[in-house]
Amino acid sequence: MAEKGHFVVYTADQRRFVIPLKWLKNNIIRELFAVAEDEFGPPSGRPITLPCDAVFMEYVVSLIQRHAAKDLEKALLMSLATGRCLPTSNLHQEQSNQQSLLCSFQSQP
């Protein structure tokens, strides 16, 4: 049971995350829910499982807590939209490539 004002989700590797309800307005969380529903169907009485691992979810949580730049959020959303919820092994590489991702978004009109 989550404390008042929070909800619980699980990652594909069964890690539990307690998320503030106010984050339901966040575009990244909303997209993760959409991808989860596409992949697993509606929760229907079972816990919500997101199609990513705990390391990726920790990264998402840190971005939301730090109020990440909109360009970084946009890059992550595009990654999710293309079905690339990052596994642990690719996260370090993705973090090192953030600058190039941001540069490509910043150069677009």
Which of 33, 27, 31 shows the shortest CA–CA distance to 7?
33
Mean pLDDT of 11-24: 94
Which CATH architecture is the domain 6-106 placed in?
A: 2-Layer Sandwich (3.30)
Select the highest-mean-pLDDT range: 11-25, 64-78, 86-100.
11-25
Please tell me the distance from the alpha carbon of residue 47 to that of residue 14, in angstroms, as a whole number.
10
- pTM of the full predicted structure? 0.70
Quick: pLDDT tens for 31-87.
999 888 988 888 788 889 998 899 999 999 999 999 888 888 888 888 877 765 544
Mean pLDDT of 17-21: 95
**Residue 44 pLDDT:** 83
